[in-house]
Amino acid sequence: MKKNETIISMNKICKSFPLEIGGVQQVLFDITFNIQAGEFVAIMGPSGSGKSTCMNIVGALDTPTSGTYELYGQNISNMTSDDLARARNEHIGFVFQNFNLLPKRNVLDNVMLPLMYRGMSPEERIRRSREMLHRVGLENFETYLPTQLSGGMKQRVAIARALAGEPKLILADEPTGALDSKMGNEILKFFKELNKDLGITIVMITHEFDIARYANRLIHIYDGRINYDGPIPASEAVLVKKTNKGQK
Amino acid sequence: MTLNDIFKESWLSIGGNKVRSFLTVLGIIIGVMAVVIMVAVGETVEKEITDQFSSLGTNTVVIRAGAAQTGGVRSGSRQTLTIDDAEVIAKLPDVAAVSPIQTSGAQVVYGNKNWSTSMMGVYPDYTTVQNIEIEYGSFFDTTAVRNASTYAVIGPKTATELGMDKNPVGEVVRVQNVPFVIVGVAKERGDSAMGSQDDMILIPITTLKKRVQGSRFPNAVSMIALKLFQDADNSVVIDQISAMLRDRHRLRAGDDDDFQIMDMKQIMETMTTVTGYLKLLLIAIAAVSLLVGAIGIMNMMLVSVAERTREIGIRKAIGAREQNIIIQFLSESIMISFIGSMIGLVMGVGLSQGVGRFILGYNVPFSAWPVVLSISVAVIVGLASGVMPAIKAAKLNPIDSLRYE
């Protein structure tokens, strides 16, 4: 993977939702940022700030109302839902707060799922999925059902699934939100390793500054606007000050 | 996705909720089973009727004396048909065999036993007309008819009832004090549409009229039965006979026929049409339960889509396209209807053959019908009941689905 290759290019992204009582509610205002290959970025913001909507657009789960979003050089703003599905499958590995594993499929089947939709041969799927399970240290749990695993293990299965497709980008939505602090730290350290050792680009959504600190860059969203974009500040106070300023 | 993937995914999903899947499959089992059994019932009835008629021969025509019943008044007491009519009909080119028939109840006495049966005065050609085969001895010939000989051919059941030997040829029985020499015994052939052919006594028609009945009109007969050649056109021959008889009986234009012509082929065609409708009716009733079964699948699939909203969201998030989701849900509904249809087919055929053949003793025909039917049901019902839920699933928005609890 080339360094300094632009993975994500958001240009004046706006998103608004129609309201049932009529009119629209705008959630994102002119969001503009680029993310280069090999970065570890935390997108932070309180609930209601629009960071989830932002993540949905970054994750190609949703399209912006206006502005352009290029994912790995492809403009996804006007893609059909099938094209979006293909883009997600090829470029993005998702890690969710509540793991989102299929409860009735065993660990190996769960990891293989994105590869199946990619149309990979069954042998290749199994080979690659085993490799990923080995990487997350769960090679002995192939035949377990997710319900038989601890939260941390489930999240590692989810990471293995995200890695299996060898994506350019891992998009983690509150990956530690359902874990205790010890397991959460483990997962975050694992992300750090992936980023450092394999050069995988990671975008992590969180509302906690302590978690955001594992990243190298912080994008703070407040009321649908970018409030801060830069290296991790020494303390959260910087962000608070800025929001207060922004409100005035 | 390979076929194997699709199969595995569907199997795991169906197996994931065993009770519900079983109940849904049960709906299809009952539906297909009902249709298969009803088809078997219809086909059995049809076959029984066809068999009975074919034992008689479809190229048989029966002429009865007296007009058709009109307005409740039947002027049939007069015997309008004569042996001469039969002789004239016999000369028609399309007619293979003719026999005038006079029936009479008869108390047959043999030694110290007696048995009440039906006595028929006929011509030797009666054997051809009614497909009668002779087991022992032979049928009386035309000389016996001319001489009004006291020869008789009896049915096998009559012989048994009278306590006769296996081969009673040469024995003497009495009917109204007239002694008859048994010259032949008919071969057993079971019941037919015209009643039992095994319990009867056949004698020359002249003997019956003159010696047994002592009739004042020895020439009059109640029926004439005839057999046409295989390639004859029944309706043409019947028109010819009708015209000829009207002429012979000196009926004027506008007069009603003083005879009735029954064409077995036509009767059988009518019967076949009736049984065809009966079969359709039975299948239609059974098809309702199949429809209910199909609605059951659709219902289950809709519930399943709602329940698995989150799963659908996950699949879409990690790259499932709409067609992947549609195929997944369609293959589930097809698998359910396929399993149901196959079990229904086996149970339906098993029950109809088991009960029909071995308990009720009917010769239930095997046919390809139920197999074709169940396979089409599997595909059509599966597709029809799965399409709407599958499209609904495919159109789900991944964001909302992922958030769905």
Distance (Å, whole) CA B142 – CA B290: 62
Q: Residue A172: beta bridge partners? A: A95, A204
Band the pLDDT of A248: cuts 50, 70, 90: very low
Domains of chain A: 6-247 (3.40.50.300)
Q: Please report how many Cα atoms fall inside a 13 Å half-sphere around the Cα of residue A77, on the Cβ side.
A: 15
% residues pLDDT > 90 (chain B): 39
- Note whether B316 contacts A94, CB cutoff 8 Å: no
Q: Which pair of tokens denotes residue B387?
A: 């399409």
B360 beta partners: none
The whole-number average pLDDT for the span B223-244 is 89
Q: Do A117 and B13 touch (CB under 8 A)?
A: no
Rank A120-134, A233-247, B164-178 by mean pLDDT and report only the highest. A120-134
Supply the pTM of this predicted model.
0.73
Integer Cα distance of A211 and A215 in angstroms: 8
Q: Which residues, other chains included, contact B5 with Cβ-Cβ below 8 Å and sequence gap of 6+?
A: A116, A122
Task: Judge: B318–A86 Cβ closer than 8 Å, yes or no.
Answer: no
Query: Does position B69 have pLDDT exceeding 90, yes or no?
Result: no
HEC letters along chain B? CCHHHHHHHHHHHHHHCHHHHHHHHHHHHHHHHHHHHHHHHHHHHHHHHHHHHHHHCCCEEEEEECCCCECCECCCCCCCEEHHHHHHHCCCCCEEEEEEEEEEEEEEEECCEEEEEEEEEECCCHHHHCCCCEEEECCCCHHHHHCCCCEEEECHHHHHHCCCCCCCCCCEEEECCEEEEEEEEECCCCEECCEECCCEEEEEHHHHHHHHCCCCCCCEECEEEEEECCCCCHHHHHHHHHHHHHHHCCCCCCCCCCEEEEEHHHHHHHHHHHHHHHHHHHHHHHHHHHHHHHHHHHHHHHHHHHHCHHHHHHHHHCCCCHHHHHHHHHHHHHHHHHHHHHHHHHHHHHHHHHHHHHHCCCCCCCCCHHHHHHHHHHHHHHHHHHHHHHHHHHCCCHHHHHHCC
Q: Is A192's pLDDT higher than 90?
A: yes
Cβ-nearest to B402 among A100, A102, A122: A100
**Chain B residue closest in CA terms to A117:** B320
**Closest CB from A94, A104, A105 relative to B318:** A94
Check if the beta carbon of residue B282 is closer than 8 Å to that of residue B42.
Answer: yes
Residue A148, SS3 per DSSP: helix
Give the end-to-end CA distance of chain B in Å, rounded to a whole number.
28
Q: B388 to chain A nearest CA, in Å? A: 19
Q: Kindly give, in sequence order, each residue whose CB lies less than 8 Å from that of residue B105, ignoring residues fewer than 6 positions away.
A: B116, B117, B118, B119
DSSP A139: G
Closest chain A C-alpha to B401 CA, distance in angstroms: 11
Residue B189 has pLDDT above 50, yes or no: yes
- More confident position, B76 or B344: B344
Among A35, A19, A7, A24, which residue's Cα sits nearest to residue A66? A24
Query: How far off is chain B from A137, nearest CA to CA, in Å?
Result: 22
| Highest mean pLDDT of the ranges B21-35, B206-220, B350-364, B371-385 | B21-35
Nearest to B202 by CA among B160, B149, B264: B149
| More confident of the two residues A172 and B54 | A172
d(CA A111, CA A162) in angstroms, rounded, equals 8
- Predicted local confidence at residue A84, as pLDDT: 92
Q: Evaluate whether B106 touches B119 at the Cβ level (below 8 Å).
A: yes
Phi, psi of B368 (to 5 degrees): -80, -15
Exposure of B3 by Cβ count < 10 A (0-12 exposed, 13-18 middle, 19+ buried)? exposed
Choosing among A117, A154, A169, A174, which should be mutated to test the B contact, i.e. which has the most B CBs within 10 A?
Answer: A117
CB atoms inside a 10 Å sphere around CB B337: 33
Confidence tier at A70 by pLDDT (50, 70, 90): very high
Confidence at residue A246, expressed as pLDDT on a 0 to 100 scale: 47
Mean pLDDT of B259-277: 85
Evaluate whether A99 touches A157 at the Cβ level (below 8 Å).
Answer: yes
Segment B8-28 mean pLDDT: 90
Residues 6+ apart with CB under 8 A from A174: A96, A97, A205, A206, A207
- Mean pLDDT check: name the lowest of A53-67, B69-83, B147-161: B69-83
The closest alpha carbon to B99, from B145, B43, B137, B47, belongs to: B145
Compare CB distances from A85 to B2, B311, B319 and report the shortest one's residue: B319
pLDDT surpasses 80 at B79: no
Specify the pLDDT at position B194. 54
Give all strands of the β-sheet with A40-44 in edge-to-edge order: A92-95, A169-173, A201-206, A40-44, A217-222, A225-231
Which of these ranges, A89-98, A235-244, B112-121, has the smallest mean pLDDT?
A: A235-244
Task: Kindly determine whether residue B1 and residue A161, on different chains, have CB atoms separated by under 8 Å.
Answer: no
Is there a contact between A88 and B324 if contact means CB atoms under 8 Å apart? Answer: no
User: Which of A220-234, B183-197, B299-313 is least confident?
Assistant: B183-197
Q: Which residues of A touch B1 (CB under 8 A)?
A: 116-117, 119
Two tokens, residue B342: 């196959």
Count of positions (residues) in chain B: 405
Token reading at B197: 């052919």
DSSP A167: -
What does the pLDDT look like over B275-307, one tens digit per residue? 889 888 988 888 898 889 899 999 999 999 999
Sign of CA dihedral B278, B283, B284, B289: positive
**Which residues of chain A neighbour B12 with C-beta distances below 8 Å?**
104-105
| Chain B residues with a Cβ under 8 Å from any Cβ in chain A | 1-2, 4-5, 12-13, 16, 310-311, 313-324, 398-399, 402
Paired tokens of B266: 């036509």
Residue B64 pairs with which residues in a beta bridge? B223, B260
- CB of A84 within 8 A of CB of A117? no
Mean pLDDT for A65-69 is: 93
Residue A105 has its nearest CB partner, among B12, B320, B321, at B12
Reported as a single tens digit per residue, the pLDDT across A7-29 is 999 999 999 999 988 889 999 99
How many CB atoms lie under 10 A from the CB of residue B56? 22
For A68, phi then psi, to 5°, come to: -120, 140
Q: State residue A160 phi and psi, 5-degree precision.
A: -60, -40
**Chain length of chain A:** 248
CA atoms of B325 and B9, how far apart (whole Å): 11
Query: What's the token pair of residue A150?
Result: 């601890």
- Residue B22 pLDDT class (50, 70, 90 cuts): very high
pLDDT at B287: 86
Chain A nearest CA to B48, separation (Å):
54
Structural domain boundaries of chain B?
3-52+269-403, 79-257
Question: Is there a contact between B211 and B148 (Cβ–Cβ < 8 Å)?
Answer: yes
Residue from B304, B318, B325 to probe the interface with A (highest A Cβ count within 10 Å) = B318
Signed CA dihedral, B374, B377, B383, B389: sign only: negative
H or E element in which residue A245 lies: helix A237-247
User: What ipTM was reported for this prediction?
Assistant: 0.91
The Cα–Cα gap between B307 and B304 comes to 5
